[in-house]
Amino acid sequence: MAEYIIETTKGKWEVVVGLEIHCQIISKSKIFSSASTEFGDDPNVNVSFVDAGMPGMLPTLNKECVHQAVKTGLGLNAKINKYSEFSRKNYFYADMPTDYQITQFRYPIVGEGEIFVDLSDGSTKKIGIERMHIEQDAGKSIHDLNPTKSYIDLNRAGVGLMEIVTKPDFRSPEEAGAFLRKLRSILRYLGTCDGNMDEGSMRCDVNVSVRPVGSDELRTRCEMKNVNSVKFVMQAIESEAKRHIEVYENGGTIEQETRQFDPTTGQSKVMRKKEFAHDYRYFPEPDLPPLVLTDEYIEAVKAEMIELPDAKKQRFIETMGLTPYDAMVLCENKENAEFFEKAAAGHDAKKVANWMMSDFFAMLNKKRLDITQSPVSAENLGRLVELISTEVISGKIAKDVFEIMSETGENPEKIVEEKGLKQVTDTGAIETIIDTVIASNPDNVTAYKNGKTNLAGWFVGQVIKMSQGKANPAIVNKLVREKLDK
């Protein structure tokens, strides 16, 4: 595994990172009320009396949020706790009218689990999950609409969250980035969170500390709150690690504090120090009973589980002949994997994968289209590959056919038929062209016979050009050499 070591003139350092990720649960209504979770509606339209913290209102746990959390726990290969309970986390914030958040503290719904991440050197690393609990989100404060006023939007207040806490298992920015991409991929496969970090439906807190290489101590960590992209998480780890090292090497100490990473400067600044840390006065939520799940319930959710990226990747490698890299790229996104399987059905899977990862993805990129909007259907991509495999067209002609397919959405057989693009495998027709080329280039024929044998390639090129790309290259190659060697 590629090691990430920060070396200075004074020593070698290793970084130790743990992540806490808040993931918004996909559900129609909020976790403790029936208000809608719709994103992007007018402010304060999706607010029930419960979300607004009206006196006397009581929370009711949303079954669907529990279902989604259990599914996610299973997707993280984690222990599902049959007993969990809700707690109040007390603090004041203007966008939280109850002055407390209902969360889980002592007994979370999901216990220890693990995720495997794929690294750029081809290796795989296991990352431990410490726990996952469910809780409600706060509303939103908007400070930049008016110079003297702040506005509050409670649409988000009460939306269900899953808070996933990892073990401090990351040793590089790359590992943290790979983990977040893998986690997002799993959540999207499961349909339990949309994983859109830029919309705030997945928010990452990053805990960073450093230690001398070879030591296994855990030094004081600093936490960077709500970093909102994979790239920024990686940058935040790098800059924070460097800051710690500089402090230590200058004889200073790191204080435990909460910091804010600013992507424009690439630096973090302090938000609050430990002595101002909150005392949340957690206590069991009196308005909700403990959450008790039965074995039958957990088994029923297990039975619903679909094939997740790791299992799919393994299957693509073992039964479809893909390389680990191809399989990883195609399985990261469920829609891509499904498209691939449809396209590869009955055709050369490796060739289909190559087409998808080159011309096909390039076409979608260029047209700024999502795979679900592709003008080239999976079936038609499979047919195109079949035309190449059966030598009806050459790989070169296939690129032209693909170009037409991506404009018209037509099926490749029809295009080949209409445009007369069928490969010429008739040796008689090819021989005629070769004879013409040989007859009109006597100097090169002489040069070839005098030892410049690499001129054969030039003859092949001329013949294919004269056939307008339709002559089968393998046949041309064979016949050109035969005729020149005569």
Q: List all residues 6 or more positions away from 234 whose beta carbon is below 8 Å from its beta carbon.
A: 173, 174, 176, 177
CA-nearest of 334, 382, 336 to 355 is: 382
Residues 6+ apart with CB under 8 A from 245: 6, 8, 13, 210
Record the tokens describing residue 219, joined without a space.
């030094």
**Strand, coil or helix: what is 295?**
helix
Choose between 163 and 332: whose C-beta lies nearer to Mn ion: 163
163 versus 326: smaller Cβ distance to Mn ion = 163
Q: Are strands 222-227 and 257-262 parallel, antiparallel or unpaired?
A: parallel
Q: Taking CB under 5 A as the rule, does residue 137 contact Mn ion?
A: no
Smallest gap from residue 205 Cβ to Mn ion (A)? 9
Nearer to Mn ion, 101 or 444 (CB): 101
Residues forming beta bridges with residue 222, ordered by sequence position: 208
The closest residue (CB) to Mn ion is 163
Q: Does 163 bind Mn ion (CB under 5 A)?
A: yes
Minimum separation from the CB atom of position 230 to Mn ion (A): 20
Stretch that binds Mn ion, among 53-61, 157-165, 269-277, 297-305 (CB under 5 A): 157-165
Stretch that binds Mn ion, among 160-168, 258-266, 296-304, 471-479 (CB under 5 A): 160-168
The whole-angstrom separation of Cα 482 and Cα 459 is: 12
Instruction: Please identify, using beta-carbon distances, which residue of 134 and 475 lies nearer to Mn ion.
Output: 134
Closest contact distance (angstroms) between CB of 20 and Mn ion is 7
Stretch that binds Mn ion, among 155-163, 234-242, 304-312, 318-326 (CB under 5 A): 155-163
Residue in the block written with tokens 């004081």: 220
Residues 6+ apart with CB under 8 A from 300: none
Per CB under 5 A, does 130 bind Mn ion?
no
Tally Cβ neighbours within 10 Å of residue 329.
Answer: 20
Longest dimension (CA), the chain: 101
* Choice between 102 and 430, CB closer to Mn ion: 102
Residue 135 CB, nearest distance to Mn ion (Å)? 5
Q: How far is the CB of 260 from Mn ion (least distance, A)?
A: 17
- Smaller CB separation from Mn ion, 87 or 336: 87
Nearest-angstrom CA–CA distance, 226 and 197: 10
- Which is nearer to Mn ion, 206 or 416 (by Cβ)? 206
Select from 163-171, 178-186, 284-292, 460-468 the region that touches Mn ion (CB under 5 A). 163-171
CB 331 within 8 A of CB 316: yes
Residue with tokens 């990473």: 261
Output 157 or 397, the one with its CB closest to Mn ion.
Answer: 157
The contact mask relative to Mn ion for 184-213 (x = CB under 5 A, - = no) is: ------------------------------
Contact positions with Mn ion (CB under 5 A) in 12-71:
none
Q: Taking the C-alpha atoms of 470, 473, 474 and 477 in order, what is their torsion angle to the nearest 10 degrees? A: 130
Q: Residue 132 and residue 20: Cα distance in Å, rounded?
A: 9
Site map 337..376 versus Mn ion, x via CB under 5 A:
----------------------------------------
Nearest approach, Cβ of residue 103 and Mn ion (Å):
6
Instruction: Report the DSSP pairing between strands 100-103 and 267-273.
Output: unpaired
Rounded least distance, CB 142 to Mn ion, Å: 21
Closest CB 170 distance from Mn ion, rounded Å: 20
- Residue closer to Mn ion by CB (options 14, 163) is 163
Give the count of beta carbons closer than 10 Å to the beta carbon of residue 440.
Answer: 10
CA dihedral 413, 417, 419, 420 (to 10 degrees): 120
In the complex, what is the shortest distance from the CB of residue 163 to Mn ion, in angstroms, rounded to a whole number?
Answer: 4
User: How many residues make contact with Mn ion (CB under 5 A)?
Assistant: 1
- Shortest Å, Cβ 342 to Mn ion: 40
- What SS3 class is residue 15? strand
Q: Which is nearer to Mn ion, 102 or 241 (CB)?
A: 102
Task: Specify the stretch interacting with Mn ion by CB under 5 A; choose among 52-60, 159-167, 309-317, 437-445.
Answer: 159-167
Closest to Mn ion by CB, 204 vs 421, is 204
Applying CB under 5 A, the span of 162-170, 179-187, 199-207, 306-314 interacting with Mn ion comes to 162-170
| DSSP characters over 416-479 | HHHHT---B--HHHHHHHHHHHHHH-HHHHHHHHTT-TTHHHHHHHHHHHHTTT-B-HHHHHHH
> Residue 136 Cβ, how far from Mn ion at the closest point, in Å?
9
Among 64, 120, 166, 187, residue whose Cα is nearest residue 325: 120
Query: CA 154, CA 150: separation in Å to the nearest integer?
Result: 13
Residues at the site binding Mn ion, with contacts judged by CB under 5 A: 163
